[in-house]
Chain A
Amino acid sequence: MSEQETSSATGHSQRPAIAWRNPPLLFELSREGRLGVELPPVGVAESALEELLPESVRRTDLAGLPEVSEVDVIRHFIRLSRRNYTPELSLYPLGSCTMKYNPRLNEEVVRLPGFANSHPLQPISTVQGNLELFWALEQALIQLTGLSRVSLSPAAGAQGEFVGMLMVRAALDKRGEGRRYVLIPDSAHGTNPASAAFAGYQVKELLSNEHGTLDLEDLERAMTEEVAALMLTVPNTLGVFEDQILEIARIVHSKGGLLYCDGANFNAFIGKVRPGDMGVDVLHMNLHKTFTTPHGGGGPGSGPVAVGEELVPFLPAPLVNSGADGFTLDFDRPDSIGRVRSFHGQFGMLVRALAYIVGMGGEGLAKIAENAVLNANYLRKGLEGSYHLPYTTPTLHEVVFTDKRQTASGVTTLDIAKRLMDYGFHPPTIYFPINVSGALMIEPTETAAKEDLDSFVEAMCSIAIEAEEAPELVQGAPYTTPVRRCDEALAARKPVLRWHPPEAADS
């Protein structure tokens, strides 16, 4: 351990343990009589509690809730924050997650009181600013997608997929066609089959060919009149654009099916081509990917869905319309699939997304894709001498390598990922897509600077050398992180899913 290495001859460590580096749980910090909030007086004539709420409906206690001051709380969360890696340090190249810079200005505007304090059930005459914002965002997304209308309701990409598939189902029902299957390539994100199943469809998997794209003959065979839709991620999770997309759309449409595009990777071609022009009928976008709303440690996301003319009647209610009397909310949509959440969507995320769009402008938005693709190709060039590239097809915004060259010395993708942490990087997405063994899926995004890309390549190449010369070093990584490799089997075998007071833990 480093502490021992730096110990002086006297036996005293040069680097004593720092207590705050291992913050206890909030519940363990609790000391009787500490308080972190000052409340206003009740200010009205009070009644006896028993008169207002009989004892039978009241809770008996709040045992276990911690008693801490505001100072304790701030310290606790600052200490904990130092146990997270953040994209503001350097690369956080999770493939298909688009971990790009989130403009700080957007955090400022979303907190403006007229947005933050607007209530979702206010009369629409009092929220015209919000409705104008919905309208402006929808118009921008229509421009960017080349589709007809956009629902801003879905709470996340996965909910957008679900909404998209429900609309597919509703449209086919309207035609009188009860189709049973949805085609999904093996490289797809796991949410695609889950969303299709949630919409009541059976999933048929399509295998990728040696270029990492769909095989058109396979598609022709699989695409029958029993198939409702093809769900396709463009570019796919290998970063490869389906160069036959127009032909794919033709095949799907020739059998009366619909083309669903998973827009998780929209960042790769935004402003270069439009999904509507590709023949896509329905597309969801992840605002936390392409449109820089913060990932927040896993959310909140936001998953607007854009559709072509045929699907417009089925969009979730409400939609925002613009008229002579200002903006209105349209709930009168008889063919709508209905409501998928409370109120109007992830409004705070929509504010940030629009701020990003107008902060970039039409010209800037096209540069996003250009720089994202430039960065990914630069990384690919830098790494292809050290790592196995399973598909040599041109890649756009992300590139997938594998551990094939390292496994001979016993070093796996997991080891490489963990070792990267010691070099000061977040690992890429690993073991995904599932059709590539030992995948390392790297997406630098357009906001990675060249010098960071260079350091990342240098780190990865050093790890490749370590894997050959000192495999056990890589296998033992990480060494420098707040905790080292975690026993995930134990966590799953004996789940501890909350803190328990010490007495209860004994029993």
Chain B
Amino acid sequence: MAKMPDPDRGFGHRYLPTGTEDRREMLEAIGAPSVEALFSTLPEEILLREPLPIEGPLSDQELRGYFGRLQAANQVAGRDLISFLGGGAYRHETPAAIDSVTTRSEYLTVYTPYQPEVSQGTLQTIFEFQTFISILTGLPVANASLYEGASAFAEAILMACRVQRKRSKIIVARSIHPHYRQTLATYATNLDLDVVEVGWDESGRVDLEALERELGSDTVCIALQSPNYFGVVEPWDRLSAPAKAAGALTIGVVTEALSLALLQSPGEGGCDIAVGDAHSFGLSVSFGGPLLGFMAVKDAFKRSIPGRLVGQTVDQDGQRAFVLTLATREQHIRREKATSNICTNQALCALAATVYLALHGPQGLADLAQLNLQRTASLRRRIGEFPGFSSRFSQPCFNEFAVRASSPAGGVIAQLEAAGILAGVPLGPDYPELEDTFLVAVTECNPPEELDRLVEELGAL
């Protein structure tokens, strides 16, 4: 018969498979009088004598209750309110197949595939991810995922500086996501980079004349986003052509990766580097993290790209196999001379994206992109018909557009929030000259009834 449980719990805990019996036997084998004796190198004077005052251990039931209460204290789209928020984080449906794959132990809890013989699953999925990103961006080499778009953007600029050593000036469109530009500023703090920003023209695209004024033989690169932060589609080649003529690289930024299914790819449009965020492929918005950075480059830059790369090879029996490769760029070998300090990446998010892209295929992606486009265009047209509102820019958009109100956008947004609608992202805080403008994003997660609701409420203002 089992003994009654010890009222003094001893060493037992659900996440610690070492019972009192194990502990006794192990200490005996080690020849140590106590566990405390194993910590003899810790300075006596700072040893903690009491457990720290941290709540727990919570039972599963209590823990579910606690987190259930926290998440219920949020109001979120699909449950408590209607949301047209985008601004670099786009809500899309995530097929059930994704979680069923990504929660498998073989993917979820393993680490960087340092040992290829027992990590072919991870390596092959990353190779497949690299192929997807390469096809979508139209550039031959894509890496195994950066953290998220903003830091990936900063890494892309640093990479451009490495391959264009003799030049110093970096031209960045102000219509690139503010967080991306702020992150670049932080990364550049101690690196002596000359970053110049150029604005936009009346139609919402990069101000070409201003760009051409800045562009010269000292320009490392130009960077632009499409669709840009205002939702406006930028033809890549409109800027990449003059950049190329000046010997500068073009960096194409994409924050809404679904747009790649419909729009000219950065590679086709003459970009040398494509960078951005691919969270739209199967990740929940999750308060903005984790997201999924990506970078794709021309073949000539494959030895300068930051982060991990997976390559195809053969094993000793001649079977196809995949390995981490071109590692001499990386921190664990090059240390302070590495191309980047990146070590962990976003492999699990890249897996989710790979599953997502496989499920959709060319037809599903194109159809979904068109669905986003059509619903957005419909709402844009209807809002433009109200006297108090207009579409801020004339150029084509994908699934996000800027709305100009006849009063500060903050007030409009607050009124709609009271009606349970998050109408969009105000531009004023990042662009004082656009105080009266806000961004509205529409995806397949906004059914036609939600578009009707927004139109109704705007009409009632």
A316 vs B285: C-alpha distance when bound (angstroms): 22
B185 within 8 A of A: yes
State the CA gap A30–B325 with chains docked (Å): 27
| A94-133 Cβ-contact flags toward B at 8 Å (1 or 0) | 1001010111010111111111111111110011111011
Q: Is A330 an interface residue (CB 8 A)?
A: no
Whether the Cβ atoms of A361 and B58 lie closer than 8 Å is yes
Contact: B48 with A272, CB < 8 Å?
yes
10 A-B pairs, CB-CB below 8 angstroms?
A81-B107, A109-B63, A110-B286, A113-B71, A118-B287, A129-B70, A245-B43, A365-B51, A374-B27, A495-B326
Given contacts A54-B396, A119-B285, contact A361 B57 (CB under 8 A): yes
Say whether A417 contacts B115, CB under 8 Å: yes
Most chain B beta-carbon neighbours within 10 Å: one of A240, A366, A499: A499
Instruction: Identify which of B56, B122, B141, B398 contacts A497 (C-beta below 8 A).
Output: B141
The contact of B107 among A76, A84, A358, A483, by CB within 8 Å, is: A84
| In the complex, chain A residues whose CB is within 8 Å of the CB of B163 | none
B41 touching A243, Cβ below 8 Å:
yes
A156 with B344: CB separation less than 8 A: yes
Question: Does B460 make an interface contact (CB < 8 A)?
Answer: no
- Per CB-CB distance, the 4 closest pairs between chain A and chain B, nearest first, are A343-B288, A361-B56, A114-B71, A200-B190
Q: How far is the CA of A83 from the CA of B321 in the complex (A)?
A: 11
B-contact bits for A73-90, CB 8 A (1 contact / 0 none): 110111011111111100
Cα–Cα distance between A360 and B348 once the two chains are bound (Å): 25
Chain B residues, CB < 8 A from A158 = 331, 341-344
A497–B143 Cα distance when bound, in Å, is 9
B110 — which chain A residues lie within 8 A by C-beta? 84-87, 92, 295-297
Q: Which of B126-134, B194-202, B241-249, B384-392 contacts A (4 or more CB under 8 A)?
A: B126-134
Interface residues on A, range: 35 or more
Q: A58-B264, A272-B47, A360-B15 are in contact. Are A155 and B151 (CB under 8 A)?
A: yes
A226 to chain B, nearest CB (A): 16
Q: A65-B365, A368-B16 are in contact. Are A40 and B444 (CB under 8 A)?
A: yes
Residues of A within 8 A of B128 (CB): 25-27, 499
- Residue among B66, B87, B151 with max Cβ neighbours from chain A (10 Å): B151
Assess whether A471 is interfacial by the CB under 8 Å rule: no
Question: Chain B contacts of A292 at CB under 8 A?
Answer: 15
With the chains together, A427 CA to B115 CA distance in Å?
Answer: 8
Question: Are A112 and B71 neighbours in the complex by a CB distance under 8 Å?
Answer: yes
When distances are taken between beta carbons in the complex, the residues of chain A under 8 Å from B284 are 116-117
**A394 close to B (CB within 8 Å):** yes
Is A219 close to B, CB under 8 A?
no
- Which of A35, A63, A203, A486 has the largest number of chain B CB atoms within 10 A? A486
Instruction: State whether B43 touches A194 (Cβ < 8 A).
Output: no
Q: A360-B56, A394-B40, A498-B130 are in contact. Are A486 and B18 (CB under 8 A)?
A: no
Residue of A120, A429, A432, A449 near B287 (CB, 8 A) is: A120
Residue in chain A with minimal CB distance to B145: A299
**A12 contacts partner chain B, Cβ-Cβ < 8 Å:** no
Q: A84-B119, A348-B289, A417-B115 are in contact. Are A361 and B54 (CB under 8 A)?
A: yes
Q: Report yes or no: B89 in contact with A36, Cβ–Cβ below 8 A.
A: no
What's the least CB distance linking A489 to chain B, in Å? 9
CB distance from A299 to the nearest CB of B (A): 4
Q: How far is the CA of A75 from the CA of B430 in the complex (A)?
A: 46
A351 partner residues in chain B, CB cutoff 8 A: 67
A129→B20 CA distance, assembly (Å): 39
Q: Taking A60-B268, A396-B39, A483-B321 as contacts, is the C-beta distance between A300 and B344 under 8 angstroms?
A: yes
Closest to B84 in A: A119
Q: B344 near A193 (CB under 8 angstroms)?
A: no
Q: A86-B110, A143-B52, A344-B289 given. 13 additional CB < 8 A pairs?
A: A25-B128, A26-B354, A42-B370, A129-B72, A194-B340, A301-B344, A338-B189, A342-B288, A349-B290, A357-B56, A360-B15, A491-B312, A492-B325
The minimal Cβ–Cβ distance linking A350 to chain B, given in whole angstroms, is: 8
For the complex formed, measure the closest distance between the CB of B443 and the CB atoms of chain A, giving whole angstroms. Answer: 11
Taking a contact as CB atoms under 8 Å apart, the answer to whether A111 and B99 are in contact is yes
Q: A487 and B363 in contact (CB under 8 A), knowing A36-B358, A367-B13, A381-B29?
A: no
Task: Flag if A127 contacts B287 (CB, 8 Å).
Answer: yes
* B45, B73, B97, B150: residue with the most chain A Cβ atoms closer than 10 Å: B73
Q: Determine whether A377 belongs to the interface, using a CB cutoff of 8 Å to chain B.
A: yes
Q: A122 contacts B22, CB within 8 Å? A: no
Beta-carbon contact of A483 and B289 below 8 Å? no
B182 part of interface (Cβ distance < 8 Å): yes
Q: Is the CB of B182 within 8 A of A339?
A: yes
CB of A140 within 8 Å of the partner chain: yes
Residue of B nearest to A241 (CB): B41
Q: Collect the chain A residues with CB atoms within 8 Å of residue B148's CB.
A: 155, 341-343
Whose C-beta in chain B lies nearest to the C-beta of A34? B361
- Inter-chain contacts of A364 with B (CB < 8 A): 13, 15-16, 56-57
Contact status A294-B108, CB under 8 Å: yes
With A44-B448, A140-B54, A497-B311 as known contacts, state yes or no: A84 contacts B111, CB within 8 Å: no
Q: How does the 8 Å CB contact mask read for B209-246 relative to A, with 1 for contact and 0 for none?
A: 00000000000000000000000010100000000000
Are B313 and A370 in touch, CB under 8 angstroms? no
Contact A81 B104 (CB under 8 A): yes
**Residues B105 and A119 in contact, CB atoms below 8 Å apart:** no
Taken together as a complex, chains A and B put the C-alpha atoms of A486 and B312 apart, in Å, by 10
Docked pose: A356 CA to B388 CA in angstroms: 51
Distance to closest chain B CB from A152 (angstroms) = 10
Residue contact A46 to B63, C-beta cutoff 8 Å: no
In the complex the two chains form, is B125's CB within 8 Å of A374's CB?
no
Residues of B within 8 A of A393 (CB): 41
Interface string of B1-36 (1 = CB under 8 A from A): 000000000010101111000110111011110010
* A149: interface (CB < 8 Å): no
Given A86-B105, A361-B58; A271-B52 close (CB under 8 Å): yes
**A64 contacts B135, C-beta separation under 8 Å:** yes
Which of chain A's residues 366-380 have a Cβ closer than 8 Å to chain B? 366-371, 373-375, 377-378
Q: Is A277 an interface residue (CB 8 A)?
A: yes
Q: Is B453 an interface position by the 8 A CB rule?
A: no
**Binary contact readout A425-446 vs B (1 if CB under 8 angstroms, 0 otherwise):** 0110100100000000000001
Q: Does A506 contact B (CB under 8 A)?
A: no
Which residues of chain A have C-beta atoms less than 8 A from B433's C-beta?
Answer: none
Q: CB-defined interface of A155-166 with B at 8 Å, one 1/0 digit per residue?
A: 111110110001
CA distance A346 to B293 in the complex (A): 13
CA A277 to CA B45, docked complex, whole Å = 9
- The reply to whether A128 and B74 contact each other, CB–CB distance below 8 Å, is yes
Whole-angstrom distance between the alpha carbons of A25 and B303 in the complex? 25
* Residue in B73, B95, B348 whose CB lies within 8 Å of A296: B348
User: Smallest Cβ distance from B100 to chain A, in angstroms?
Assistant: 7
The answer to whether B151 touches A371 (Cβ under 8 A) is: no
A281 → chain B, closest Cβ, in Å? 15
Set of chain B residues within 8 Å of A370, measured between Cβ atoms: 35, 38
* Contact among B54, B89, B97, B118 with A365 in the assembled complex (CB-CB below 8 Å): B54
CB neighbours (8 Å) of B298 from chain A are none
Are A121 and B56 touching (Cβ within 8 A)?
Answer: no
User: How distant is the Cα of A281 from the Cα of B328 in the complex, in angstroms?
Assistant: 32
Chain A's closest residue to B147 (CB) is A155
Contact across chains for A498 and B131 when beta carbons are under 8 A apart: yes
CA distance A3 to B447 in the complex (A): 57
Is B434 positioned at the interface, with any CB of A under 8 Å from its CB?
Answer: no
Look across to chain A and name the residue whose beta carbon is closest to the beta carbon of B395: A57
Q: Contacts A86-B109, A103-B15 given: A450-B57 contact, CB under 8 Å?
A: no
- Which residue among A46, A359, A490 has the maximum number of chain B CB atoms within 10 Å of its CB? A359
B173 at the A interface (CB under 8 A): no
- Chain B 243-271 interface mask (CB, 8 Å, partner A; 1/0): 00000000000000000111111001000
How far in angstroms is the closest Cβ of chain B from A184?
8
Q: Are B46 and A344 in contact (CB under 8 A)?
A: no
- Nearest Cβ distance between residue A48 and chain B, in whole angstroms? 10
Contact B85 A483 (CB under 8 A): no
Separation of A199 and B114 alpha carbons in the complex (Å): 28
Give chain A nearest CB distance to B345 CB in angstroms.
4
The answer to whether A269 has its CB under 8 Å from any CB of chain B is yes
